[in-house]
Amino acid sequence: MVNFRQLKGTGNFYFVRHGQSIANTKKVIQGHLNSKLSELGEKQAVQTGRWFKDKNIHTVLTSPLDRARRTAELIAGEAGCSTVEVLPNLIEFNTGVFSGFSLEEAREKYPEDYRNFYLYSWEGVRGAENPRKIYNRALKHWQYLFKLFSTGSTNTVSVSHAGFIQWLIKTTFGHREWLPLFPMTNCGLFHFALDNSVASLRMDKAEKRVSETTGSLAKEETEIYTYKYGWKLINYHVGESAPT
């Protein structure tokens, strides 16, 4: 893992899953397949962008897939950020033979892969990207974020996908297996706060709080403090309803 204790000052790394796609509404497994945002997905992206309005975002980075790229453009527009950079490394992992099918359809078409999926997660699905490759992609993205921070982009937003964001988080712990999984809604937001001006962060202290729901906006907040690498993970869910 990149050691962010080598950096000076404070900064924020935000990771956002794309808004609801048309394929999401049909419960289709997308992987590298393209799908545009649904009407709700566009609203989710705008709402998330408004949350970023006062966060002084310097750079928005995005997967090249349409659902992520459109989300990034809407977030950047609302947040007042002029820089949107497309990064191939942020693409979703390859979901192999399940791509383009719902889980139910995959069960009928590929019964053996389906059984293996529940035994071994995506490692049991033919053609799916293996954990070693995904882990290395995630590590490369953290290295790129380190470089951006060093050159002045201390507040960045990376728009990606539910599967790959799992590994962006796991990489910070050196975890190399699919399970366990982090819950993630459309436009779910993960926030890594870097503060090297304070040396009192306690290692391995985890705290979870759930805020009150106001109207249609619900937020679940999780904090994990890690002294060694100098970051704090805060997990926000910004969406139409509380996450399940």
Return the active site residues. 18, 92
- How many angstroms separate the CA atoms of 116 and 137, rounded? 24
Q: What are the respective helix, strand and coil percentages of the chain, to the nearest 5? A: 40, 25, 40
As given in the structure block, the two tokens for residue 235 are 């997990």
Element (H, E) at 219: none
As given in the structure block, the two tokens for residue 179 are 């399970």
- How many angstroms separate the CA atoms of 242 and 223, rounded? 18
Q: Which amino acid is at 130?
A: N
- How many angstroms separate the CA atoms of 55 and 236, rounded? 14
User: Which neighbouring-strand residues pair with 209?
Assistant: 221
* Residue 5: Cβ within 10 Å count: 14
- How many angstroms separate the CA atoms of 111 and 104, rounded? 10
Element (H, E) at 105: helix 103-109
